[in-house]
Chain A
């Protein structure tokens, strides 16, 4: 479903990706943890096809149409309403906005409000709706918990879990081990563009993963 093979990419003297390889199958959620500047966002952009890697290849079954992206920036137009934003993004994928999308995300009452008038948590929910508008098979999540309070973060985690349970693949990159571990079926630690750890999460809880992450990164 999603394949990365020998990815290497540099920005001038900075190595963003250094021989990164992995595969994510339907139903799998890979959480990639790393400090700022580890190359996490570059990895997602390469997977999404937004950056052409200097070496290696990234492949997503179904191409760009199969990808949904949720980042710490919502990719929404603040002057437009929630409904107008979703219609616009759906039109680029040649689909109609799914009838139950707004209600699934608890956005029905906010549908005709401009995005600029919504709280950070609601904006992030709209960003999730935007990413799901074309029912993507692969979700790429870039620090999706940024700015969310605990309730909104839990609701968001629930949605991602539903997505995985429906047989979709997810790659999540974050520096927040506690929030990311709960969603993960597989865990990777990234440092200076390299995976220094990549294994199924198994029975490891957030505390154990956080401990291993600290040991691997320091």
Chain B
């Protein structure tokens, strides 16, 4: 269990990252523009008579969130390389776990912001009812996002010092996203199709298990990824 000072340091790292993002707005704007463009392309490029909206919308939703999240994750540690601030973080008398948790929280806020904008757009473009299912949908999105952002934050730290970090991150991350995305897409399809909530119980449990395993594993592995 992290101590109160670890949590305080993690919050310091997270709030600094969010303040930097708030000042520059480059990451969030790129991600939101990306989401809007992808949804528009899928909306105008599909044949509504071939596949129903209810079948297509969940897949589009998660594909869009996945790539928007990768944009955020790519930035997470690039920011620390700008003036070698990462060395300063590693030199500070704080646990490596605090740095990881701080980055995780900042990435979650970033991705959640994109998702808050993306969900109504999916509802709008694909004409699906989201509001009546907002509770279960929020649970699915929260659990799935935590899982892939936890893994993505770890891989972002691993790849940031490589020559082709922007290319390498999706290559190593996407295989780990297959399971949570599959569970999230199945659960989202069930929810939007108005099926009984008991149908998504299994997916939610799997997502929760994935989150626990990968947050713990990432916390344990993170120090090895940033040490020279």
- List A residues at the B interface (Cβ < 8 Å): 45, 48-52, 63-65, 67, 69, 71, 73-80, 84, 88-89, 91-94, 114, 130
Q: Is the CB of B16 within 8 A of A74?
A: no
Given the contacts A64-B93, A65-B93, A88 and B12 also touching, CB distance less than 8 Å: yes
User: CA of A64 to CA of B8 in the docked complex: distance in angstroms?
Assistant: 18
Known: A77-B82, A89-B88, A92-B92. 20 other contacts (CB 8 A): A50-B227, A50-B228, A51-B228, A52-B227, A69-B88, A73-B83, A73-B87, A74-B83, A77-B16, A77-B20, A77-B79, A77-B83, A77-B85, A78-B82, A80-B16, A89-B92, A91-B9, A92-B9, A92-B12, A92-B94
User: How far is A41 from B24 in the complex, measured between Cα atoms in Å?
Assistant: 32
B90 interface residue per 8 A CB criterion: yes
A50 — which chain B residues lie within 8 A by C-beta?
87, 90-91, 227-228
With a 10 A CB-CB cut-off, give which of B5, B82, B227 has the most chain A CB atoms.
B82
The answer to whether B91 and A69 touch across the interface, beta carbons within 8 angstroms, is yes
Residues of A within 8 A of B20 (CB): 77, 79-80
B84 within 8 A of A: yes
Distance between Cα atoms of A14 and B12 in the complex (Å): 38
B91 touches A48 (CB 8 A): yes
| Interface presence of B124 (CB below 8 A) | no
Give B residues with C-beta under 8 Å from A. 5, 8-9, 12, 16, 19-20, 23-24, 79, 82-85, 87-94, 227-228
Which residue of B8, B23, B90 has the most chain A CB atoms within 10 A of its CB atom?
B23
Residues of A within 8 Å of B94, CB to CB, are: 92
Chain B contact residues, majority secondary structure? helix
Distance in Å from the Cβ of B198 to the closest Cβ of chain A?
46
- The answer to whether B92 and A64 touch across the interface, beta carbons within 8 angstroms, is yes
- On whether A75 and B92 interact (CB within 8 A), knowing A45-B228, A92-B12, the answer reads no
Chain B residue with minimal CB distance to A88?
B16
Docked-complex contact B92 and A93, CB < 8 angstroms: yes
A133 to chain B, nearest CB (A): 10
B85 neighbours in A (Cβ, 8 Å): 75-77
26 contacts between A and B (CB under 8 A): A45-B87, A50-B87, A50-B91, A64-B92, A64-B93, A67-B91, A69-B88, A71-B87, A75-B83, A75-B88, A76-B83, A76-B85, A79-B23, A79-B24, A80-B20, A84-B19, A89-B88, A91-B8, A91-B9, A91-B12, A92-B9, A92-B12, A92-B89, A92-B94, A93-B93, A114-B23
A contact residues around B8 at 8 Å (CB): 91
Residues of chain B within 8 A (CB-CB) of A92 are: 9, 12, 89, 92-94
Given the complex, which residues of A lie within 8 Å of B89, measured CB to CB? 92
Specify the chain B residue showing the minimal Cβ separation from A90: B12
Contact A130 B88 (CB under 8 A): yes
Please determine whether A69 and B87 come into contact, CB atoms closer than 8 angstroms: yes
The chain A residue sitting closest to B16, CB to CB, is A88
How many Å from the CB of A81 to the closest CB on chain B?
9
Contacts of B83 in A (CB 8 A): 73-78
Tell me the minimal C-beta distance from B112 to chain A in angstroms. 21
Q: Could you tell me the distance between the alpha carbons of A155 and B79 in the complex, rounded to whole angstroms?
A: 30
Query: Are A73 and B84 in contact, with the CB atoms below 8 A?
Result: yes
Q: Which residues of A contact B84 (CB under 8 A)?
A: 71, 73, 75
Q: Smallest Cβ distance from A142 to chain B, in angstroms?
A: 10
Shortest C-beta distance, B163 to chain A (Å), equals 17
Please report the C-alpha to C-alpha distance between residue A78 and residue B79 in the assembled complex, in whole angstroms.
Answer: 10
